[in-house]
C-alpha cells in the first residue's frame, strides 16, 4: 500500500515538472540558435569607470532596437557579438517612450521579422530573448500575453515571460519568431511581478526622426515618472499589491472615465468593487469581457464569484469561456493543487 502511494506521488511530481513543457510549444534549440544570431549585447561605460550591460535586437540591416535607458547619459556604448565589438555612428531616440535604434555602418547581422502589436491577442504564447545578469549568451523566458494597454499609438504588452537586470532592450517574440515587443520594465515591489514590453510600432515611429550623435538627455521615460503622472495601468499596481481596494477603485474609476473602451480599466474597477458591492463588481467585470472575451483575469474573478454563490449556470458559462481562451487552464490549476 505504501509503495502504491509513493508511486502516485512520484507520478504526480513528474507530471507537475513536465507540465510547462507540455503546455508551451517551445522553440527547438536550432530555432533559438538562428534567432540568437540577431541578438546583441550592449556594453555601456559611464564616468569613474562604471560599466553596465543591456540587450538589443537587429530590426533591419545595420540597425539595432533597444531601450534608451540602457545607455542614456553614458559616456560610450558599443555592441558585442561573437567577441567582436561594433560602435554605433548615431541613434534614433524617443527618450520619453524609451525606444531607441542604434545605427551602424558595418554590423554583419541579419534582422528579425517584425510584427505589429495591434495584431497580438490575450493569452498568446510568447517568449523573450535577452542577456540577463551580464550573461554572454541570450537566454529565453517563456510565457503568455496577459494584457495589452493602448498608449500613445501603440499597445504596451504585459507578459508572464519574466526578465531581469541586463534584459532591458531585449526581444519579445511570438511562436512564429516575429519580434512583437522590446523588453523594458517591470512593476515595483516583489509580491506582484508585472513585466512590460514596448510595441514595435514605436520602432517604426522613432526611425522617422532625425538621427542623433549625442546620447545625453534629461527626459525621463514615461514609466519612471512620479506615480500620479504614470499611465493608469501602472498606477493600479501598488494598490493591488497592498490590497488597498479603496485606492484601487478610485484609480480604476478615473481610468474607465478616461478610457471607456478599456477592458483592463473595467477589470480593475470590478476587482476593487468585489470588496464593496458584488452586484456592481459583476456588472463591471462583465463589461470587461464584453470588450475583450479573452481577458482571462476578468473571467477568473467572475468564475470565482459564481462558485462562491453556488450559481451553477454562471459557473458553467464562465468555465466554458475560460476553456475557450485557455484549454489547459483547469488542468493547470488541478496539477498545482
Determine the Cα–Cα distance for residues 178 and 201; give it in Å rounded to an integer: 13
Q: Which CATH number fits domain 225-336: 1.25.40.10, 3.30.2320.80, 3.40.50.11260, 3.90.1170.50?
A: 1.25.40.10
Bridge partners of residue 256, in order along the sequence: none
Does domain 1-221 correspond to CATH entry 2.40.10.120? yes
Is there a contact between 36 and 167 (Cβ–Cβ < 8 Å)?
Answer: no
134: left (phi > 0), else alpha (psi -120 to 50), else beta?
Answer: left
- CA-nearest of 160, 182, 220, 162 to 102 is 182
Residues of the chain with CATH 2.40.10.120: 1-221
* pLDDT number for residue 15: 39
* pLDDT number for residue 190: 65
pTM reported for the whole predicted model: 0.89
Over residues 178-233, the pLDDT tens digits come to 999 999 999 876 667 899 999 999 999 999 999 999 999 999 999 999 999 999 99
Residues of the chain with CATH 1.25.40.10: 225-336
* pLDDT number for residue 118: 82
* pLDDT number for residue 26: 77
* pLDDT number for residue 320: 97
* pLDDT number for residue 25: 65
* pLDDT number for residue 5: 46
Divide the 337 residues of the chain into consecutive groups of 10 and give the mean pLDDT of each group.
46 40 68 94 93 96 98 95 93 98 96 93 96 92 96 95 94 97 88 90 97 96 96 96 97 98 98 98 98 98 97 97 93 55
Amino acid at each position: 500500500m505504501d509503495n502504491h502511494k509513493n508511486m502516485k506521488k512520484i507520478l504526480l511530481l513528474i507530471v507537475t515538472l513536465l507540465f510547462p513543457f507540455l503546455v508551451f510549444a517551445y522553440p527547438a534549440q536550432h530555432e533559438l540558435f538562428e534567432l540568437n544570431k540577431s541578438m546583441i549585447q550592449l556594453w555601456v561605460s559611464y564616468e569613474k569607470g562604471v560599466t553596465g550591460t543591456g540587450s538589443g535586437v537587429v530590426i533591419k540591416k545595420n540597425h539595432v532596437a533597444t531601450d534608451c535607458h540602457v545607455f542614456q547619459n553614458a559616456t560610450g556604448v558599443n555592441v558585442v557579438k561573437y567577441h567582436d565589438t561594433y560602435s554605433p555612428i548615431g541613434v534614433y531616440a524617443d527618450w520619453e517612450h524609451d525606444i531607441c535604434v542604434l545605427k551602424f555602418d558595418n554590423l554583419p547581422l541579419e534582422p528579425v521579422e517584425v510584427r505589429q502589436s495591434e495584431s497580438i491577442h490575450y493569452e498568446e504564447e510568447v517568449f523573450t530573448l535577452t542577456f540577463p545578469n551580464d550573461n554572454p549568451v541570450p537566454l529565453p523566458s517563456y510565457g503568455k500575453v496577459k494584457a495589452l494597454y493602448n498608449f500613445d499609438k501603440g499597445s504596451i504588452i504585459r507578459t508572464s515571460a519574466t526578465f531581469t537586470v541586463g534584459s532591458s532592450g531585449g526581444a519579445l517574440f511570438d511562436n512564429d519568431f516575429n519580434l512583437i515587443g522590446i523588453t523594458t520594465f517591470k512593476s515595483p515591489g516583489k509580491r506582484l511581478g508585472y513585466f512590460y514590453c514596448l510595441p514595435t510600432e514605436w520602432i517604426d515611429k522613432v526611425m522617422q526622426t532625425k538621427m542623433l550623435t549625442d546620447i545625453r538627455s534629461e527626459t525621463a521615460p514615461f514609466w519612471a515618472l512620479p506615480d500620479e503622472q504614470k499611465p493608469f495601468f501602472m498606477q493600479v499596481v501598488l494598490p493591488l499589491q497592498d490590497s488597498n481596494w479603496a485606492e484601487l477603485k478610485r484609480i480604476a474609476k478615473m481610468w474607465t472615465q478616461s478610457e471607456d473602451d478599456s477592458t483592463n480599466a473595467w477589470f480593475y474597477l470590478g476587482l476593487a468593487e468585489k470588496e464593496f458591492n458584488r452586484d456592481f463588481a459583476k456588472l463591471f467585470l462583465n463589461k470587461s469581457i464584453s470588450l475583450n472575451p479573452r481577458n482571462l483575469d476578468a473571467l477568473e474573478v467572475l468564475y470565482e464569484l459564481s462558485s462562491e454563490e453556488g450559481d451553477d449556470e454562471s459557473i458553467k458559462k464562465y468555465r466554458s469561456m475560460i476553456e475557450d481562451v485557455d484549454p489547459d487552464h483547469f488542468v493547470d490549476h488541478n496539477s498545482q493543487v
